[in-house]
Amino acid sequence: EVSDGIIAPGYLPEALEILKAKKQGKFIVLKADASFVPPTQEYRMVGGIGFVQKRNDELFDKSRLQKVVTKSKDLPDQAQLDLILASIAIKYTQSNSVGYSKGGMMIGVGAGQQSRVDCVKLAARKASTWRLRFHPKVMALSFKAGVKRQDRVNARVRYIEGDMQEAELQQWEKNFDAAPAPLTADEKAQFLQGLSGVAVSSDAFFPFRDSIDACSRIGVSYVAQPGGSVADEEVIAACDAYGMAMAFTDLRLFHH
């Protein structure tokens, strides 16, 4: 909804008509060369020093999810697809990165943090917001006629966050026919308890169990990570305590 353009190898005529109508015809639609193969080597200059490395051309598929190290070995097809999606997303996200997915959608990404548990918590905040957008009180918000679509999206997010100061609150209330009743912390917590079956992928190993503890609060049932930490057993034990299934992929997905 907030993108400025799209690049793809091709488009169905019906899809192209929809895209051409976006942004009053100013939406950029480009056709990629499906036969293009990028160079094997990547180059980067940092402070006058040249770095060369092999391009990360590893494909992340179901073969990476066969090493399940937890007591629970249950990785349904949808869970595997979600883990693959999350892993591909974080492969191209600034490290450190962690991503949550559910039902074929990315619902939260935490990137560029120095602490992995901070990535987990940042992504969890986004996933919580995604979930709470379906709360009955959020769905029932009555906007004034003429409020733009993106303004409605922003207003819903601020309603969910609920930490507005008086001046901001007064401006926010102008979006509605009548000022909505607050969404309380208890209401949010109760609704979030209904979230389950979430998949999470990390671009490097979890160094401590604290990341798994944080994942448990956002309905995570499935985990993918490279493994290789001295605390692997501690992390596995945490997954077992929460009934999560975790696969070691043996593949780091760092992106700098």
- What are the domain boundaries of the chain? 5-52, 60-127+195-248, 136-182
Q: What is the pTM of this model?
A: 0.87
Determine the pLDDT at residue 40.
92
Determine the pLDDT at residue 7.
95
Q: Indicate the pLDDT class of residue 57, thresholds 50, 70 and 90.
A: confident
Mean model confidence pLDDT for the chain: 94
Query: pLDDT, tens digit, for every residue of 109-140?
Result: 999 998 999 999 999 999 999 999 999 999 99
Q: Is the pLDDT of residue 182 over 90?
A: yes
Choose which CATH entry (3.40.50.800, 3.40.50.300, 1.10.760.10, 1.10.287.440) describes domain 136-182: 1.10.287.440
Q: How far apart are CA 132 and CA 166, in angstroms?
A: 23
Determine the pLDDT at residue 56.
86
3-state secondary structure the chain: CCCCEEEECCCCHHHHHHHHHHHHHCCEEEECCCCCCCCCEEEEEECCEEEEEECCCCCCCHHHHCCECCCCCCCCHHHHHHHHHHHHHHHCCCCCEEEEEECCEEEEEEECCCCHHHHHHHHHHHHHHHHHCCCHHHHCCCECCCCCHHHHHHHHHHHHHCCCCHHHHHHHHCCECCCCCCCCHHHHHHHHCCCCCEEEEECCCCCCCHHHHHHHCCCEEEEEECCCCCCHHHHHHHHHHHCCEEEECCCCCCCC
Determine the pLDDT at residue 145.
94
Q: Is the pLDDT of residue 1 over 80?
A: no
What is the third-level CATH fold of 60-127+195-248?
Answer: Cytidine Deaminase; domain 2 (3.40.140)
Determine the pLDDT at residue 3.
83
Determine the pLDDT at residue 18.
94
Determine the pLDDT at residue 24.
87
Q: Indicate the pLDDT class of residue 256, thresholds 50, 70 and 90.
A: low
Determine the pLDDT at residue 55.
87
State mean pLDDT over 136-151.
94
State mean pLDDT over 138-161.
95
